[in-house]
Amino acid sequence: MGFLNILKRRETTSAGEVDAVASINETVSDHYHIGMEMARRGLYVEALKEFKTVAREQPTSAEAHYNVGVTYGEMGRFNEAMKAYKQAISVDPNYAEAFNNLGLAYANLAQHVEAVKAYLQAIRTRSDFVQAYNNLGIAYYNCGSYSEAIKACKKAINIEPGYLHAFYSLGLIYIDLKDKQLALENYKALQALDSGMAHQLLNRIGEASL
């Protein structure tokens, strides 16, 4: 999960508000940039304080709530992360990244059916969202829906042929299905993309004694 680099600014409709709004936005921007720096340093408690200030000052900024969610996620506080992502989605119902991260939060709480629903929403919002397709495949895999998992991971590869995480996910699925040949095919594809991750998959194949 990554932090957004830009927060939307509240638009003004009255010329008389310009100076006051500029002052508010400058203060909010300070909190945002401090939060980003704290997060970069791994100081998530401090970052959360800054991002929550931004969200309080700009309650109609979906990105502000999203960054609160990301920070909670980095802290392992997934229930609170979900609340923040849902707040972001209530502001912007087409916020694909918030749906995807909501799915990740559900997955971390082993709520895989809910994760599937969130990833599907992300994909409906953005049809070329390769990470969401791969995450959907993993969620289906964790639900035991292997055919749907394979379909989702292959869709990720169709969108981005070099997306190594999808090859790794497919390899794990085929290991569970006891299909050594297809697991090795994904290992070979992965080897051309990332030898380290390919080695991890090969180790998993060996451990499974297929």
Residues present in the chain in total: 210
Match 């939307």 to its residue by tokens. 8
- Specify the amino acid at residue 52: K
180 within a domain of the structure (yes/no): yes
DSSP alpha helix (H) spans, the chain: 18-40, 44-57, 62-74, 78-91, 96-108, 112-125, 130-143, 146-159, 164-176, 180-191, 195-208
pLDDT tops 50 at residue 5? no
182 within a domain of the structure (yes/no): yes
pLDDT tops 70 at residue 149? yes
Q: How many domains does the chain have?
A: 1
The pTM assigned to this predicted structure is: 0.85
Residues 6 or more apart whose CB falls under 8 angstroms from that of 23 comprise none
54 within a domain of the structure (yes/no): no
Q: Which DSSP symbol is given to 79?
A: H
CA proximity to 115, closest of 84, 91, 137, 146:
137
Cα-based angle 167, 172, 177 (whole degrees, multiple of 5): 120
pLDDT tops 50 at residue 114? yes
- The residue range of the domain holding 199 is 162-210
Residues 6 or more apart whose CB falls under 8 angstroms from that of 47 comprise 35, 36, 38, 39, 71
87 within a domain of the structure (yes/no): no
Question: Residues 148-160: what's their mean pLDDT?
Answer: 98
pLDDT tops 70 at residue 17? no
205 within a domain of the structure (yes/no): yes
How far the first Cα of the chain sits from its last, in Å, is 34
pLDDT in tens, 164-187: 999 999 999 999 999 999 999 999
6 within a domain of the structure (yes/no): no
pLDDT in tens, 28-80: 788 888 888 888 898 999 999 989 998 998 999 999 999 999 999 999 999 99
Question: Residues 14-41: what's their mean pLDDT?
Answer: 64
183 within a domain of the structure (yes/no): yes
176 within a domain of the structure (yes/no): yes
